[in-house]
Structure 1
Amino acid sequence: MTSDGEIIHFDNVGLRYGTDREVLSDLTFTLHAGRFYFLTGASGAGKTSLLRLLYLAQRPSRGAIRMFGTDAITLPRARLPVMRRRIGVVFQDFRLIEHLSAFDNVALPLRVAGHAEKDIAGPVRDILEWVGLTDRIDASPATLSGGEQQRVAIARAVIARPAMLVADEPTGNVDPDMAAKLIRLFEMLNRQGTTVVVATHDLDLLRKVPDSLIMRLDKGRLSDPTGALRYPPRKLT
């Protein structure tokens, strides 16, 4: 992290898949530590592609990206796992491990990070209770509903208190009450210093986090060149 709290900086970033036209073009913006960002835009605007760049699943076709003070473009592949552990990700398709229980899916980031088993059970049970899954702690993903799988995926993403949380439509498979509860969970994590980036098409969510910043994608470009609008829209001072 740099001295001014910058954790991510994109400079003239573009992304294309194969020989197709660019799906993201000329992206220049900065994300700061401890801020809450919503990423919005119509279907096909490039939200998921931008998130893939943010959690290091994809390298850009051009431009520069600095992440936690490191050049992410030239980062050796062997160092990617360590960098990725600083980023919690909620995938739109959940990506739970089918042969593991809800408990073990959520515990996985702590085990990968080398936490002792005696230090894992308490935090995992607490976060599963928070997302309303105390009675499903031993269930396999195949026996969970879509909304329950979503909540397990969110619990897994936040259990290790990442420096940045990236979430792709995290409330898309839950009812409004649970959606509000999950957003409060993200806010709590944010108040503890985690930078949060939530991609959503649900504009009502924007009103639930008054101090959030809004990044709007339109056909692969940020509609505001600063990449950071408040809700209601007004430029940062």
Structure 2
Amino acid sequence: MSGGRDDIVQFDNVGLRYGAGKEVLSDVSFTLYPGSFYFLTGASGAGKTSLLRLLYLAQRPSRGMIRMFGTDVITLQRDRLPAFRRRLGVVFQDFRLVQHLSAFDNVALPLRVAGVSEQDLAKPVSDMLDWVGLADRAGARPATLSGGEQQRVAIARAVIGRPDMLVADEPTGNVDPEMALKLLRLFEALNRLGTTVVVATHDLHLLQKVPESLIMRLDKGRLSDPTGALRYPPNRTGAQG
């Protein structure tokens, strides 16, 4: 599979194993394009979380090639990884909020790391908390929030910096259907601004909620391509050209 200027991520024959066990991902090849919306599906144990770990640079593959933003990230020097990670927004299944920080400060964290002043970050952080329905919980620490509220803080933190790519692992798993749809609309809005979105989910009903989305399906560590998403850049109507 050949890369190009329009690739944001490229996997070529990637395999992943943990220790001496058998491969959890085998011969995975695909290309993600800027501004596209992908659902990653598959049964429990299919390898979705492992694939996401490769996408947000928490794991190196056992074999194969991964390029991101035009750079081979497998051979990338460690001191360059933080700059790459700042271009990514990640929503973890276990939230990974900073426990001693308030909801406001958790959401503000990516902007502070990027050097945004307190004056300039106050409004966007407050607006984002309002959008996810947590304006009245801005001062609350994670331990006092419900699972669904923590999930919404984690999502707000992931999207506040308008990353080049958003990777979300079961982002609607701890919220009710109404909030799940609202969060999905937030991802769509971010996508329309140019962010490539990858949402891993076992909820097949969500796949119908984003008409222009493309589907990547994992089965026992191998990737199938039911919509042609992995071979061709999508056009604006979601069809392949």
Q: TM-score range by the shorter chain?
A: over 0.9
| Matches for 1:115-154 after TM superposition, within 5 Å | 115-154=116-155
Report the 3-state secondary structure (helix = DSSP H, G, I; strand = E; otherwise coil) of the residue aligned with 1:120.
helix
- Establish whether residue 27 from structure 1 lines up as the match of residue 31 from structure 2: no
The gaps in structure 1 that reach 5 residues or longer are none
Q: Aligned AA for 1:167?
A: A
- Establish whether residue 236 from structure 1 lines up as the match of residue 240 from structure 2: yes
Q: Aligned AA for 1:104?
A: D
Matched-pair contact (CA < 8 Å) for 1:131–1:182: yes
Q: Aligned AA for 2:8?
A: I
Identity of aligned residues (%): 76
Alignment deviations for residues 119-154 of structure 1 (CA, whole Å, 9 cap, x no partner): 111000000000000110000000000000000000
Report the 3-state secondary structure (helix = DSSP H, G, I; strand = E; otherwise coil) of the residue aligned with 2:8.
strand
Q: State the match for 1:209 in structure 2.
A: 210
Matched-pair contact (CA < 8 Å) for 1:88–1:165: yes
Matched-pair contact (CA < 8 Å) for 2:41–2:215: yes
Q: State the match for 1:198 in structure 2.
A: 199
Query: By how many angstroms is 1:224 displaced?
Result: 2.7
| Matches for 1:63-212 after TM superposition, within 5 Å | 63-212=64-213
Alignment deviations for residues 85-107 of structure 1 (CA, whole Å, 9 cap, x no partner): 00000000000000000000000
CA distance in 2, matches of 1:212, 1:157: 20
Q: State the match for 2:38 in structure 1.
A: 37
TM-score by length of 2: 0.93
CA distance in 1, matches of 2:104, 2:188: 23
CA distance in 2, matches of 1:156, 1:183: 15
Matched-pair contact (CA < 8 Å) for 1:228–1:235: no
* CA RMSD between the two structures: 1.6
Query: By how many angstroms is 1:236 displaced?
Result: 2.9
How many equivalent residue pairs? 233
Matched-pair contact (CA < 8 Å) for 1:164–1:194: yes
CA distance in 2, matches of 1:34, 1:175: 27
Report the 3-state secondary structure (helix = DSSP H, G, I; strand = E; otherwise coil) of the residue aligned with 1:99.
coil
Deviates more, 1:146-155 or 1:112-121: 112-121
CA distance in 2, matches of 1:180, 1:228: 26
CA distance in 2, matches of 1:5, 1:129: 34
Q: Aligned AA for 1:89?
A: V
- Establish whether residue 7 from structure 1 lines up as the match of residue 8 from structure 2: yes
Matched-pair contact (CA < 8 Å) for 1:106–1:156: yes
Report the 3-state secondary structure (helix = DSSP H, G, I; strand = E; otherwise coil) of the residue aligned with 1:6.
coil
The gaps in structure 2 that reach 5 residues or longer are none
Query: By how many angstroms is 1:5 displaced?
Result: 1.7
Matched-pair contact (CA < 8 Å) for 1:28–1:227: no
CA distance in 2, matches of 1:178, 1:94: 16
